[in-house]
């Protein structure tokens, strides 16, 4: 990314945000409800009032990203996770059977999920690839069943053949942890299908990524690397407005880097896309809380997810849908009345 990155600082929420914006002392971040009063040009170090920031960069940060996937844009979205795998780190393979996966997706949809994200390949650190035909055997019956009931489905896959069959089965969205870098057939497929897309930041592969955690500035480096993925997608003919970006919490990030990235999440809004964040049950929550069992990390997952919303995230990808929907509704009830 050749243009300077601005890091929004002095974030404001609630009535104080609206008052500061009205007084010309702050600007809405990605259209609100968070505002920011200061900004730092990354690489320069100086902190400036919003009125003294470069106009083009300020415009990028304040403009509300386009509506994504035809879903509501006036509130945070919740994406429920259904891992149809025998070895998921977060749920121990509880949804590996087709009937259980369908039941889980149905319950998430009833609980208020906006999207159900269905995956058939484990991508936790150190994992190795799953054959596409095995992945397809896991996910396609689940996608068909839930799509037939009206659920909005995203397919969590990095294989073009699996993406194509999933879209044929009723999925509407592609969610690729490799940001379309794994399979050279994926970019032209997504472009041809004109489907909404999630590009996630990761370095290397799930098997190698935790050896690739050297960053000069984790927030700036992740933003620039996502900018490169975004540019490659656009070059392949994919509409920028159809793309959401995921910073890849837990993927090629070491101890302390996930927390730093979440704390500085507004930097990603320089790219002008909706931000999707997946923190649910992740390892950094266990390190911070002392809870070793992923299924027992709901309170920490909610805390991290709400922090991401305050930093400008628009979509939360979670295992515990009902609890997250309730938390998000309360969050929205507090902050939505002062949204720009």
**How far out from the chain centre does Cα 317 lie?**
7
Catalytic entry in 138, 172, 282, 297: 282
Q: Tell me the chain's radius of gyration from C-alpha atoms.
A: 19
295 is catalytic: no
- The b/e string for 147-183 (b: 16+ C-beta within 10 A; e otherwise) is beeebbbbbbbbbbbbbbbbbebbbbbbbbbbbbbbb
CA 302 to CA 320: how far, in whole Å? 9
CA distances in angstroms from 156 to 33, 126, 134, 139, 255, listed in the order given:
29, 18, 14, 9, 25
CA 122 to CA 135: how far, in whole Å? 10
**268 near 247, Cβ under 8 Å?**
yes
Catalytic entry in 138, 172, 264, 317: 317
CA 287 to CA 291: how far, in whole Å? 7
282 is catalytic: yes
Active site residues: 282, 317
């Amino acid at each position: 990314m050749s243009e300077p990155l601005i890091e929004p600082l002095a974030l404001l929420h609630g009535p104080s945000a609206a008052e500061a914006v009205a007084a010309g002392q702050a600007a809405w971040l990605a259209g609100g409800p968070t505002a920011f009063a200061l900004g730092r040009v990354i690489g320069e170090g100086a902190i400036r009032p919003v009125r003294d920031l470069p106009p083009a960069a300020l415009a990028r940060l304040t403009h509300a990203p386009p509506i994504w996937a035809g879903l509501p844009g006036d509130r945070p979205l919740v994406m429920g996770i259904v891992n149809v795998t025998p070895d998921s780190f977060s749920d121990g393979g509880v949804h590996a059977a087709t009937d259980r996966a369908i039941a889980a997706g149905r319950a998430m949809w009833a609980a208020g999920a906006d999207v159900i994200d269905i995956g058939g390949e484990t991508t936790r650190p150190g994992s190795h690839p799953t054959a596409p035909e095995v992945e397809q055997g896991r996910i396609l019956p689940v996608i068909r069943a839930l799509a037939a009931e009206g659920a909005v489905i995203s397919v969590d896959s990095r294989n073009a053949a699996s993406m194509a069959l999933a879209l044929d089965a009723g999925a509407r969205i592609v969610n690729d942890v490799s940001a379309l870098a794994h399979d050279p057939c994926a970019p032209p497929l997504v472009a041809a299908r004109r489907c909404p897309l999630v590009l996630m930041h990761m370095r290397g592969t799930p098997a190698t990524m935790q050896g690739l955690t050297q960053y000069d500035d984790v927030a700036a480096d992740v933003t620039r690397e996502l900018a490169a993925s975004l540019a490659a997608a656009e070059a392949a003919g994919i509409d920028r407005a159809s793309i959401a970006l995921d910073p890849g919490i837990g993927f090629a990030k070491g101890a302390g880097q996930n927390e730093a990235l979440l704390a500085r999440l507004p930097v990603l809004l320089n790219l002008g896309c909706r931000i999707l964040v997946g923190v649910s049950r992740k390892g950094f929550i266990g390190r911070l809380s002392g809870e070793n069992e992923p299924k027992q990390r709901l309170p920490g997952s909610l805390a991290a997810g709400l922090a991401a919303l305050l930093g400008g995230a628009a979509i939360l990808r979670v295992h515990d849908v009902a609890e997250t929907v309730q938390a998000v509704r309360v969050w929205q009830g507090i902050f939505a009345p002062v949204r720009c």
